[in-house]
Amino acid sequence: MLELTKKKNSLITIHSDEKQSAKSPDTLVFKTFTGEIIDPKCYFGVMKPGEGKIHKSCAIRCISGGIPPILKVILDNNKSNFYIILGEKIKQKILDKIAEKTAISGRYGKLNGWNYILTNAQNIKLIE
C-alpha cells in the first residue's frame, strides 16, 4: 500500500487488463475465511516479523491510527491470499482480534488488484 500523492488522482490502477465493475454488495459472494488480521504497513514493509503475537501491539497501533486491516489467509499450497477488511467502523471493532486465529464471514470481491471482504463486527470471530 502506497500513496503517491495527495492530489485528486492519487490512486491508480496498475492492472489495466483486469475488468473492474462497481458491483452492489448484494451481488457479491458470501464466504467465510480463516486467517490472521495483520497491518499491511509492517507486514509488506521491513518489519520482521510483521505478524503474529510478537507484532500484535504494533499492529493494533497501526490499525488504530488508520492503516487498513488485512486478513492473511494461508492456502493449501502454503501460499497466502490477502483480503482488505471493509465495514462500517470496523477498525475499532477488531482490535482484540489482531494477530489471533480469526474467522471472518462476509461478501468478497476484487478491486484494483486487491481482494476485499465486506463485513461487520458480528461476522468476525476468534477461533479457539
Number of H helices, E strands in the chain: 3, 6
CB 39 within 8 A of CB 71: no
Q: Which stretches of the chain drop beneath a pLDDT of 70?
A: 1-27
Q: Give residues with Cβ within 8 angstroms of 88, minimum separation 6.
A: 120
Residue where the block lists cell 502454503: 78
pLDDT at 7: 57
pLDDT at res. 18: 44
Per-residue pLDDT, 10: 54
pLDDT at 25: 59
> 101 Cβ partners below 8 Å, 6+ apart?
34, 35, 36, 126, 127
What are the φ/ψ torsions at residue 82 (nearest 5 degrees)?
-125, 140
For the whole prediction, is pTM greater than 0.75? yes
- The ranges assigned to domains in the chain are 35-126
Q: What pLDDT is stored for residue 126 in this prediction?
A: 95
pLDDT at 54: 85
pLDDT at 89: 86
